[in-house]
Amino acid sequence: MDIPSRATVPQDHLRPAAQIEAEAPTEVTVEWRGQEFTIPATLDDCSVDTLEAFENGKATAAIRGILGDKAYSSLKRKHKLNVRDFSEFSEIIARAMGMEPGE
């Protein structure tokens, strides 16, 4: 089981919360079907436009915001995505960012 990048560990009670936050990575790398993507570690590290896309239920715009235009275009070009593929990829991205799919 993968532990989210910002998950606390037993020793965290010995450090101030600000230190824990400052030491947390701002990016993570995910792999999907042989292609690697560097994405923000959490939604907090995304642009407000990406947050708005999530709030408005615009899944493709949200994923494009997370990946960036270049990586998003590469994803579509390399994998010729259908909706099922996109849903699978979106779930992997959500989990890597510490969210439950569908959030």
Which residue blocks in 1-103 are alpha helix, DSSP H? 17-23, 48-55, 59-67, 69-79, 83-96
Structure tokens at 29: 């790398």
**pLDDT score of 21 more than 90:** no
Q: What is the pLDDT of residue 19?
A: 54
- The pLDDT tens digits of the residues spanning 28-87 come to 999 999 999 999 999 999 999 999 999 999 999 999 999 999 999 999 999 999 999 999
Q: What is the pLDDT of residue 100?
A: 75
- The pLDDT tens digits of the residues spanning 69-81 come to 999 999 999 999 9
User: CA triplet 77, 79, 80: central angle to 5 degrees?
Assistant: 70
Q: What is the pLDDT of residue 76?
A: 92
**pLDDT score of 3 more than 70:** no
* Reported pTM: 0.73
